[in-house]
Amino acid sequence: MRYTIIVVGSALLITSVLILLLSLSTNSKDDHASTVATRLRIGLQANLTHAPALIAKSSDAFSKELSMDVEYRIFKAGPDTMFALLTGQVDVAYTGPIPAIQAYLASNGSVRIIAGVTANGAMFVTRDDINTVEDLRGKRFGTPQYGNTQDIALRSYLLEHGLRLKEDMGDISIINAKSSELLLLFRKHEIDGLWVPEPWASMAMKEQRSRIFLDEMSIWPDGRFVTTVLVARSDLVEKSPELVNKVLRVHINTIRWMNEHRDEALSIASREMRSITGQSLPEDVVKSAFSSLEFTYDLMQGSIEGYIRKGRMLGLFPSEYVPSNLFYYDGLKSILGE
């Protein structure tokens, strides 16, 4: 089976999708459907939080189960991934919960969350002289992209603690860049901290004079929060539920295998990341990062609803916003026999 890796790095904001969606014609949607009939396009990121996707790619699991060509498209962050999904460039995707929710809202329900992928594994790493919330004042911090899950986590954390950004007449700055670039800025002391997913959080901890200011799991009631979800276009779910169920079957089997073979899973995911990024991460860093992650196909609905509340607090979503059809339950229920 043929695999095409396309690296996408445009910093398009998910809110701009509305304009483009209005310009999509019925013929365009038909073209997307015909493409899926012969080829499945999967969006993901080269992060350990996307390890199930990396491992399925390595084993050709999707092409074997679906008996069709599979094309992987690599993105730098969730908003870019969702832009591609909503404009028909990919069919299913691994992404953070916030971009998935944003895409659902922006497209009037054209995205469905079909499974969970990863829980936990995001941290706020700062210089070691930042010890209290008050120490955050006047500092510069980084997140992977405006509007992505870690960006919203940082913004909501600051707001909850009475801190404001410069654009809101405060004294804290947030810059957005790829996680690898944020690590370089942190190393050069051009930012004071970064809220990033693994393995970048563990990489940042390798720098001199750094500390974990906050492990995000500590601010969630049950110490568990969703990091990555698996989404599909709603038209694919409605018109090709059998195909979606096959995708889910691969996903479930991959996660079950990973949880039974953690060491081998780590090795494969690291190799795939190196192949995509050209970067080789220290073994101790990768092991530390991997140990903080939980891989699960559970939808983690409670955690996703928690992110919706954060989005409301930041004005990202309307105050009355309740995504009534965001989750696709039938696929998991069918496969798991519930």
What is the extent of the structural domain holding 103? 5-120+224-336
Reply yes or no on whether the pLDDT at 24 is more than 60: no
Examine the domain organization and report whether 137 and 240 are in the same domain. no
Place of tokens 């699991």: 61
Examine the domain organization and report whether 113 and 137 are in the same domain. no
Examine the domain organization and report whether 207 and 237 are in the same domain. no
Examine the domain organization and report whether 236 and 105 are in the same domain. yes
DSSP, collapsed to helix, strand or coil, labels residue 259 as helix
Examine the domain organization and report whether 114 and 132 are in the same domain. no
DSSP, collapsed to helix, strand or coil, labels residue 140 as strand
Reply yes or no on whether the pLDDT at 23 is more than 60: no
What is the average pLDDT across 5-27?
44
Examine the domain organization and report whether 116 and 256 are in the same domain. yes
Examine the domain organization and report whether 159 and 130 are in the same domain. yes
pLDDT of res. 315: 87
**Residue 139: what are its φ and ψ, rounded to 5°?**
-105, 170
Examine the domain organization and report whether 75 and 163 are in the same domain. no
What is the average pLDDT across 257-282?
93
CATH assignment at residue 31:
3.40.190.10
What is the average pLDDT across 143-172?
94
pLDDT of res. 28: 47
Reply yes or no on whether the pLDDT at 37 is more than 70: no
pLDDT per residue as tens digits for the range 151-161: 999 999 999 99
Reply yes or no on whether the pLDDT at 4 is more than 60: no
Examine the domain organization and report whether 263 and 278 are in the same domain. yes
User: How many Å from the N-terminal Cα to the C-terminal Cα in the chain?
Assistant: 33
Reply yes or no on whether the pLDDT at 328 is more than 80: yes
Mean pLDDT, rounded, of the chain: 89
Examine the domain organization and report whether 300 and 196 are in the same domain. no
Q: Which DSSP state fits 170?
A: S
Burial class (CB in 10 A: 0-12, 13-18, 19+), 56: buried
What is the average pLDDT across 17-25?
44
Q: What share of the chain is helix, strand, coil (3-state, %, to 5)?
A: 50, 20, 30
Examine the domain organization and report whether 115 and 230 are in the same domain. yes
What is the average pLDDT across 36-55?
92
How many domains, in total, are found in the chain?
Answer: 2
Q: How confident is the model at residue 255 (pLDDT cuts 50, 70, 90)?
A: very high
pLDDT of res. 147: 84
Domain C-terminal end among 186, 219, 252 = 219
**Residue 232: what are its φ and ψ, rounded to 5°?**
-140, 155
Reply yes or no on whether the pLDDT at 12 is more than 60: no
Examine the domain organization and report whether 75 and 131 are in the same domain. no
pLDDT per residue as tens digits for the range 193-231: 999 999 899 999 999 899 999 999 999 988 999 999 999
Q: How confident is the model at residue 319 (pLDDT cuts 50, 70, 90)?
A: confident
Q: Cα 144 to the chain's mean position, in Å? A: 10
